[in-house]
Chains A and B, each alone.
Chain A
Amino acid sequence: MRRFLPLLLLFALLTACGAPDAASTPAQTGARDSVVIAMGPTSEPEAGFDPAFGWGSGEHVHEPLIQSTLTVTNTDLTIGYDLATSMEVSDDGLTWTVSIRDDVVFTDGEPLTAEDVAFTYNTVKATSSVNDFTMLDRAEAVDSTTVLFHLNTPFSIWPYTMAVVGIVPEHAYDSATYGQNPIGSGRYILKQWDKGQQVILEANPDYYGEAPKLKQVTILFLEEDAAYLAVQAGQVDLAYTSATYADGAPAGYSLLSCESVDNRGINLPVEGNPVTSDLAVRRAINIGIDREEMIQNVLNGYGTPAYSVCDKLPWYNSAAQVEYDPEGAVALLEEAGWLPGEDGVRVKDGVRAELNILYATGDSVRQALAADLSNQLAELGISCTIEGVGWDTAYDRALSEPLVWGWGAHTPMELYNLYHTQPDTGSALYSPYANETVDAYMDAALQCSDLEESYTLWQKAQWDGTTGVTQDGDCPWVWLVNVNHLYWVRDGLQVADQKIHPHGHGWSIVNNVDQWSWG
């Protein structure tokens, strides 16, 4: 037995490593013009606070805080101005002319000019590994307050790109060090960054806009259970959490539930899978699942049904919404020839209605969604298994099997990424799908010179009355739920109204931290 003692001890040790270390987090509460926030460890920007390496504009978009942007997204996700005072696009859609404010200075005292803007965009185009800037040819400063963007192809949603790129100073930018010591003109200054632990932001005294009400923002990077313990110990003012913890509100805190477009959905390959390649099956799944039940079961009620990748955003087409109709789903299947076999599983031409639903291993919400979906589909006569996979193989396997995905961004480009065919394969990127009409609408939307008008075209790409990607269209993806973003908020902290949160449970919450207050 003694021989196994070390092994058992090792096991105990491994187990103990998961235990939170809340005691080491600094407690800095009490002062009423500061706030301490707990975010997940993945929210810490690996490459620092450099827009060229994804700060603000990476996979999870948010306002860069330390830098200013040309435009901003309003609460209804239309476009407003930050540095810009006007913008217009040429008739061919290839040249954007943006005028900027002349009263903005960087925190080192130097004025922010059109040269800095041009420098920033040329830099991110050359170096950004996380964002696609292939549509940009070059940026050019005409005078100190006017910048021209020369595009390779018309890109009507350029203002959405301008909303996430923070402007860096040309005179003080070195790609090797900028991420650690960013100089910007935004609402906050990076005062301290203890890697792996915390970031401290201080209000910029020279900010050109309304002065931030909160002078100091401390962000701790904690695992979810450690964040919960920190809340119980009263060490943080606001902490991210999930539905798992939601029913145990610690004293002095309440739960803030933010609506999101952080959706979860599955792809149904229209080719390469004998079951999902049948349109009737895809449509039956879309109306045969009870999204409300899923929200109760998996999210403890903290979510909204999802019908598209962009619910509630200006470019969403409400034709995507469907009613839960299990009888209708069964009728669709029977009509298409999927008849119940001896064991209750439907069969058509010798093909059994069997699906293997993949989910990212370690993501308990996606796993539970896959399990609930599988239970619901069993009632329709579609037999499912679920399987956890790593992201190293998930993308490849999703080309022939349904995978539980999470999307939701503040730009219509996401529709393009999911549904537009790729020039080399003639099929969409993540799941096999192709529809010329849908492609044409999205191409037209990008070429459109008017943003408002382009929303209509994005909507038509989803459903134009005869074809599209919705229930009555090709239905290549089925959307399940939007996951509400949950936070513990200390009583007295007034969190300003949030714009609908995108995918990524991180920096979005502090987009408007300058307007929060204690009351």
Chain B
Amino acid sequence: MNSNSRRATLALALLAAAVLLLVTVAGTALHDAAMVTDFSRKNLPPSLTWLFGTDWMGRDMLARTLAGLSLSIRIGLLTAAVSAVLALVLGVAAAALGGWVDSVLSWVIDLFLGIPHILLMMLLSLAFGKGFVGVVAAVSLSHWPSLARLLRSEVLQLKNAPYIRVAEHLGVSRLAIARRHFLPHLLPQFLTALVLQFPHAILHEASITFLGFGLSSEQPAIGVILSESMSYLTTGRWWLALFPGLALVGVVVLFARLGDRVRALLDPASVHA
């Protein structure tokens, strides 16, 4: 990879990040506007005034969509961060400590990976009382196992590297080895996985909300918008589902691209693999 294409990659990554930031900020600012109901303007198809149209309570669908995406992105950030940190701690602990700790953690990882994902999230969300807390708990507690497994095998490999063994024989404590040697090595993996968790987290947040196990129905969440729009499709109100759906796909694709770029920058070798 020459420096030009590195720069282009960086530019693309920054652009994607900027768009996402813009959506997040705009959506947050529009949150109150998205909650406004005005029955004098209900069921309007898209026009210059109402780019995404309005729904059966006269809510501005553009504001709702942006507010919903922004909510999704913020929940995505929070849950991706929580689950990535969880994965890092548990993955490194399993590999570095070994013995029964490793057995227990590996068993837990297998258990989590064995339950169908959507089902697991629905159960977790119900257990945490649905709503915002339920969604955040469900998504963060269900996304860490695969990354944890990856990090565990990385560390297992590292443990046998000569320089680690030397450090061990020199009497460096396990904690110090983990901090000085393991963590810097795992950082690229960790950051890439963190970014790639976003689209998963966002889609899953939307999915369980769509199914009624997530955010409350007065919230401007993408899942709520899409599940509401289902009842109006047969009456010809296509705009209620189309634009929010496209916007969701757009955000997910942007995040996926951003993740790919970050990986290319942090771990150039993988690009050629």
Contacts and interface: CB of A to CB of B under 8 A. Distances in A.
Contacts of A367: 57, 217-218
Given A244-B56, A297-B39, A362-B212, A8 B235 contact: no
A22 to B, nearest CB: 10
Contacts of B56: 244, 364, 368
A244 B118 contact: no
Nearest to A2: B256
Given A8-B249, A11-B207, A368-B57, A388 B217 contact: yes
Nearest to B216: A388
Contacts of A361: 212, 216-217
B230 interface: yes
Interface stretch (B60-68, B158-166, B198-206): B198-206
B247 to A, nearest CB: 13
A140 interface: no
Output the residue of A10, A11, A20 with the most chain B CB within 10 A.
A11
Interface string B25-41: 00000000000011100
A362 B214 CA distance: 13
Contacts of B212: 361-362
A387 interface: yes
A372 B203 CA distance: 32
B20 to A, nearest CB: 16
Contact of A20 (B200, B228, B234): B234
Contact of A14 (B210, B216, B231, B252): B210
A372 B37 contact: yes
Interface residues of B, number: 39
Given A297-B42, A361-B217, A15 B207 contact: no
A298 B231 contact: no
A225 B203 contact: no
B226 interface: yes
B207 A245 contact: no
A176 interface: no
A301 B149 CA distance: 60
A37 B31 CA distance: 43
A350 interface: no
B37 A371 contact: yes
B89 interface: no
Contacts, number: 91
B252 A8 contact: yes
Interface string A360-376: 01101001100110110
B104 interface: no
A371 B204 CA distance: 28
Interface string B106-131: 00000000000010000000000010
A374 B35 CA distance: 12
A224 B234 CA distance: 10
Contacts of B230: 15, 18, 225
Contacts of A390: 130
Interface in B180-207: 196, 199-200, 203-204, 206-207
A389 B231 CA distance: 19
Interface in B214-260: 216-218, 226-228, 230-236, 241, 245, 249, 252-253, 256-257, 260
Contact of B234 (A229, A297, A385): A229
B234 A225 contact: yes
A18 B216 CA distance: 20
A1 interface: yes
Output the residue of A10, A19, A371, A374 with the most chain B CB within 10 A.
A371
B235 A245 contact: yes
Interface in A460-483: none
B57 A224 contact: no
Contact of B57 (A14, A20, A371, A387): A371
Interface in B39-79: 39, 42, 56-57
B211 interface: yes
A3 B193 CA distance: 13
A386 B59 CA distance: 14
Given A229-B234, A362-B212, A364-B231, A4 B217 contact: no
Given A297-B42, A367-B57, A371-B57, A14 B217 contact: no
Given A364-B56, A387-B216, A228 B234 contact: yes
A7 interface: yes
Nearest to A375: B37
B88 to A, nearest CB: 20
A1 B203 CA distance: 13
A463 B188 CA distance: 75
Contact of B232 (A20, A244, A389): A244
A109 interface: no
Interface string B129-161: 010000000000000000000000000000000
Nearest to A227: B234
29 contacts: A1-B260, A4-B200, A4-B203, A4-B256, A7-B200, A7-B204, A8-B203, A8-B252, A10-B207, A11-B203, A11-B210, A14-B210, A15-B210, A15-B245, A18-B227, A225-B234, A229-B234, A245-B235, A297-B42, A361-B212, A361-B216, A364-B56, A367-B218, A368-B56, A371-B37, A372-B57, A375-B37, A387-B218, A388-B217
Interface of B: 37-39, 42, 56-57, 118, 130, 196, 199-200, 203-204, 206-207, 210-212, 216-218, 226-228, 230-236, 241, 245, 249, 252-253, 256-257, 260
Interface of A: 1, 3-4, 7-8, 10-11, 14-15, 18-20, 224-225, 228-229, 244-245, 248, 296-298, 361-362, 364, 367-368, 371-372, 374-375, 385-390
